[in-house]
Amino acid sequence: MEREILIQEEYVNDGWKMLVCCILLNQTNNKQVRPILKPLFELIPDYQSAIHCPKESIVAIIKTTGFYNVKAGRIKRLSASWSEFANTEGMSVKSLSGIGVYGKESWDIFILGRFPRVITDKKLRAYVDAIRACQTQEP
């Protein structure tokens, strides 16, 4: 059985987009989030465009993911603080608005390439277990 490809895997080269995905995945799943990513990232391809984009435009695209007003607000606040975060060494990703344990664990795994000792999300845990299994099978 093949493992599920997580959305975060597709954004390892863009930490802001990966965290936006984490916000969108809150209280929903990959199947609901995947279809809206292309139109969302066409509307807001980077944090600067998200800052200037009307919240209502984001809501219109992410509505099917649930809690859309909360998520749109979090995306706007994350974007507003992104520049400071990206330019401040040692600043924790959890200090960003809307980023909790899931976002922190995703950041550690997909952006920093570190596997936390304790992983609370079952899909993230399955991903790390699969990676570790592949690493132990290599000669």
Residue 1 above 60 pLDDT? no
Domains of the chain with bracketed CATH: 7-137 (1.10.340.30)
Residue 100 has pLDDT above 70, yes or no: yes
pLDDT score for 4 = 85
5-50 pLDDT tens trace: 999 999 999 999 999 999 999 999 999 999 999 999 999 999 999 9
Contact 120, 101 (CB under 8 A): yes
pTM of the entire predicted model: 0.94
- Report the pLDDT value the prediction gives residue 2, as an integer from 0 to 100: 77
Across residues 59-85, what is the average pLDDT? 97
What burial letters (b/e) apply to 2-24, b meaning 16+ CB within 10 Å? eeeebbbeebeeebbbbbbbbbb
Whether 54 has a pLDDT exceeding 90, the answer reads: yes
Length of the chain: 139
pLDDT at 137: 72
Q: How much is the pLDDT for 12?
A: 97
Read off the pLDDT of each residue in 97-112 and give the average, rounded to a whole number. Answer: 96
Q: Which tops the pLDDT comparison, 129 or 2?
A: 129
CA distances from 47 to 19, 28, 80, 128 (A): 11, 23, 7, 28
Band (139; pLDDT cuts 50, 70, 90) = low
Please enumerate, as own/partner, the contacts of 125-133 that have beta carbons within 8 Å and a separation of 24 or more: 126/3, 126/4, 127/3, 127/6, 127/9, 130/3
Going by C-alpha positions, the residue among 13, 20, 5 that lies closest to residue 71 is 20
